[in-house]
Structures are given as C-alpha cells and as structure tokens.
Amino acid sequence: MPGYKGHLVGGIVAFCILFVVAMGINPSYYTAGEWLLCTLAGALFPDIDVKSKGQKYFYYVVLAGLVFLVMQREFEVLTCFSFIVITPMLVRHRGIFHSPRFIIIMPLMVWIMIAIAFPSTAQPLFFDTMFFIAGAFSHLWLDFGTRQMMYKLTYRKKKW
C-alpha cells in the first residue's frame, strides 16, 4: 500500500500512458499540464475518506468552491455542495471511494452536469475527466492489483 508519493508516481505513469493515446489531439503545453493535474488529482482522490494529502488538497479546493458560491450568492447550490462534502467523513476507508464503478460513474456524472450547464466546456472537460479517471484507476491498481480490482469491478452480490 503506497503512500501519497507512490500514488503520485502511479498517476504520472497513468498520465504518460493516456497522453500517448491522446497525442493525436495535439494538445498545447497548457492543456497537457491541465491533464497532468487532473490525473494527479485522480491518483489522490480515493483516499479522501482518510486523513491524507489527497483529503487535504480536496478540502482546499472545496473551500475555494464554497467561497466562490457565497460570492455568487448561490446558497441553494452551496447547501447541496455542503452535504456532498461531508460524505468522505461518513464512509469507511476502502469503501465507496475505492470502488471502480464509483470511480467511473462519479466523474462522468459531474462531467454531464457541467456539460449541460456550460455546453462550451463539454469537450475539454471530457478529456480532463478521462485523465482524472485514469489517475484514480492507477490508485486502485496500486492498492489492490489487477486481479482484485477486476473482481471488484465485476462482483455482484447474490439477491435471495
């Protein structure tokens, strides 16, 4: 089980692999840097449910988001956002945030909501989302290995 530095290295490896695949798009240096940050954020994301560097950075971003929402007087969104933010404190470690299904569905749902609200950002944000997911999968792979990660992805509980 690597620490945050190991997960960051795994995120860099995931970025390099996905970047080679995305080279046909011919991204700018700015875009490549944005993708790298998204991948590194994804690599730290699954550990936001424990006291970690990922949780620390997550709450810095949350604080900036909350301040922005207050400045915009979006109090209804602020309320919903606040309930979502406490979720990591209510779940057990290696629970939902270490689920491959959640790691795929959650970022895609956020992307869909933002793409609906701001259609001009849909394509660039899609690539950011893919790099985030790649970083998160690098985290799961380092924690569980390929075999257990695939088991978690395909395992279904029997309903009696």
Would you say residue 67 lies in a domain? no
pLDDT tens figures, 66-101: 898 888 887 877 787 777 777 777 776 777 888 888
Q: What is the pLDDT of residue 1?
A: 55
Q: How far is residue 79's CA from residue 120's CA, in Å, rounded to a whole number?
A: 26
For residue 38, the enclosing domain spans 4-50+92-154
Q: What is the pLDDT of residue 16?
A: 92
Residue 110 sits at the vertex; the CA angle it makes with 22 and 117, to the nearest 5 degrees, is 100
Would you say residue 61 lies in a domain? no
Would you say residue 59 lies in a domain? no
Would you say residue 37 lies in a domain? yes
State residue 11 phi and psi, 5-degree precision. -65, -40
Would you say residue 80 lies in a domain? no
C-beta atoms surrounding 131 within 10 Å: 27
Q: How far is residue 15's CA from residue 28's CA, in Å, rounded to a whole number?
A: 15
Domain count, the chain: 1
Of residues 125, 129, 105, 106, the one with CA closest to residue 115: 125
Would you say residue 58 lies in a domain? no
Would you say residue 65 lies in a domain? no
Global pTM value: 0.78
Q: Which of 13-17, 68-72, 136-140, 142-146 is the least confident region?
A: 142-146
Would you say residue 159 lies in a domain? no
